[in-house]
Structure 1
């Protein structure tokens, strides 16, 4: 475990509510988690987002001249705008001035910037975004990847996702032998398109991961799997749908609580349980997802991130650095590659 202060580069201009909500979450993380935050972006806009009780001497702002808008093509935007906030933030990690980077902006641009500036881990063709979902088992979570980095995937990419996900699940989520599933339209190994069938065969033949078969949509949150792999198109749809369901459940609970004095008493009694429910199903409690497969700690947040989500994403980044996730995943992946070779 690290004892030194973790420095995190924050793309303050990335996200629907940037920079105000990004700055607010970063300042909370600085105060409560003891991290150093480097706010990257337009200095004037960042300064305008600082609360009255925070002076410029208390924050570190790293100027960036541009941003990547959501409607821009990721790779061309990154190349045309070398001084965009996400590029500047990634460079801070590359130069050793920060240990991790967080962005709630264009996820494709964040991945492109990470690839161009940090590079891939040895043996990885495509990085993947891994998101943690709650399951029907209270103490268990499932890691789903990819949830947005790669729209089209070859079977070997999905096999690499399975290895990366297994290592992350083992070292970060504490699962001794992660059970891996392939998201598909049926349990039988012959189900799905040609890519799904070939991926099934590759995963089944890989003795270094605990592949237990296909996972249908209804199985994702069952708790039967620790890691589920899919392409980024399907994974992103799944992620957005799960977020919507979580929000709906929270809204229904809020609406169905009794009103008036009776409701206040009931809510007070149920408050600890309601808090636990929120922690399990509210995507803001997770904050973001780790971009697995790049040579650096990169957390990608939701475009709609507000201050609590930003805070939790920075907490995730700090935990990843403190637990040496990058080094452990790299060591584990190289070990598995060596054994399978």
Structure 2
């Protein structure tokens, strides 16, 4: 197994990415290798300084970095030696089994779309995130930023992608799918949700339970919540602020603790032909470690094969 990691992506890279990779490596099997993509000499130096044998890792030299504010499409094409561009080349050619980065989100989406490409039949990929449930565990929310504007057919596919993800990666049997809306009645909502509802209702591949309101998000009402990327990103950023506020107030609680992005490491791009994870720009070594371990779990779940089968 080859797990690709962009060592240059993120606000605290390469220090946080290298330290996170070191911690993740300790928890991997012998035949699982982390491939560090970035400045090879610098990576080896940092690993040696941490008292670790650099031979425990594989390396691909990619000295250029795509900054957080660079135009994604231009950067991918104009910086072929960047860590993100190199990572997707390796993933496309089968030299990696997964690729993860805490770098430019737009570049990760562009790389996914034009390199490994979407699974045949998938209209648009979606980014999924975890939302904690009050009692225990968490649900899945998608899309949270890949598609600000959506068509009903896209939300219908997001529902299936999220359901497969919940079932085969997290082991939720027959996950309940809810359409995030402003009311529980079928006729409620805007043009998009009103048109989406009958598609979800007729979709025999999912367990659709109807509309879900914002107040349902952290309950057992559903296991998968579907929305357009604009709405999902607003919800995600609001949810992240819960954790920040509780920490600033000195409030310790298991429920709010499960909002901590470090626990999950990264968010997967669903609907493409290989496991790709996007980490938070402010990822710490702990977050990087968990992103690498989650990459392993995504590979072992054979989730991509499940998507291909469902959309074939």
- The answer, yes or no, to whether TM exceeds 0.5 is yes
Residue 13 (1) aligns with residue 8 (2): yes
Residue 315 (1) aligns with residue 293 (2): yes
**Paired residues for 1:100-249 under 5 Å:** 100-138=98-136, 140-249=137-246
List structure 1 segments (4+ residues) > 4 angstroms apart after TM superposition: 276-279
2:76 to 75, 78, 90: 78
Cα 1:199–1:288, aligned 2, differ >3 Å: closer, same or farther?
Answer: same
Cα distance in structure 2, aligned partners of 1:174 and 1:55: 36
Cα distance in structure 1, aligned partners of 2:256 and 2:214: 23
Q: Given that residues 162 and 224 in structure 2 are in contact (C-alpha distance below 8 angstroms), is that contact kept between their aligned partners in structure 1?
A: yes
Unaligned runs of 5+ in 2: none
Q: Given that residues 132 and 255 in structure 2 are in contact (C-alpha distance below 8 angstroms), is that contact kept between their aligned partners in structure 1?
A: no
Counterpart of 1:175 in 2: which secondary structure?
A: coil
2:274 to 296, 301, 307: 296
C-alpha displacement of 1:169: 1.1
Cα 1:319–1:256, aligned 2, differ >3 Å: closer, same or farther?
Answer: closer
C-alpha displacement of 1:48: 4.8
Q: Could you list the per-position Cα deviations for residues 206-258 of structure 1 after superposition, in whole angstroms to 9, with x for gaps in the alignment? A: 22222112212111111211111111122122112212212323444xx368x
Q: Given that residues 133 and 255 in structure 2 are in contact (C-alpha distance below 8 angstroms), is that contact kept between their aligned partners in structure 1?
A: no
Counterpart of 2:182 in 1: which secondary structure?
A: coil
Counterpart of 1:199 in 2: which secondary structure?
A: helix
Unaligned runs of 5+ in 1: 1-5, 258-273, 335-341
Cα 1:166–1:58, aligned 2, differ >3 Å: closer, same or farther?
Answer: closer
Q: Given that residues 107 and 149 in structure 1 are in contact (C-alpha distance below 8 angstroms), is that contact kept between their aligned partners in structure 2?
A: no
Structure 2 residue aligned with 1:28: 23
Q: How many residues align?
A: 309
TM-score, length-scaled by structure 1: 0.85
Structure 2 residue aligned with 1:286: 264
Which one is further off, 279-288 or 109-118? 279-288
Cα distance in structure 2, aligned partners of 1:256 and 1:315: 29
TM-score, length-scaled by structure 2: 0.92
Cα distance in structure 2, aligned partners of 1:237 and 1:51: 42
Counterpart of 2:244 in 1: which secondary structure?
A: helix
Counterpart of 2:108 in 1: which secondary structure?
A: helix
Cα distance in structure 1, aligned partners of 2:63 and 2:217: 42
Indicate the RMSD between aligned Cα atoms, in angstroms.
Answer: 1.9
Q: Given that residues 268 and 277 in structure 2 are in contact (C-alpha distance below 8 angstroms), is that contact kept between their aligned partners in structure 1?
A: yes
Larger radius of gyration: 1
Q: Could you list the per-position Cα deviations for residues 1-36 of structure 1 after superposition, in whole angstroms to 9, with x for gaps in the alignment? A: xxxxx2111011111111110111111111122331
Counterpart of 1:281 in 2: which secondary structure?
A: coil
C-alpha displacement of 1:116: 1.2
Counterpart of 2:282 in 1: which secondary structure?
A: coil
Residue 37 (1) aligns with residue 34 (2): yes
Counterpart of 1:18 in 2: which secondary structure?
A: coil
Higher helix share: 1
**Paired residues for 1:253-264 under 5 Å:** 255=250
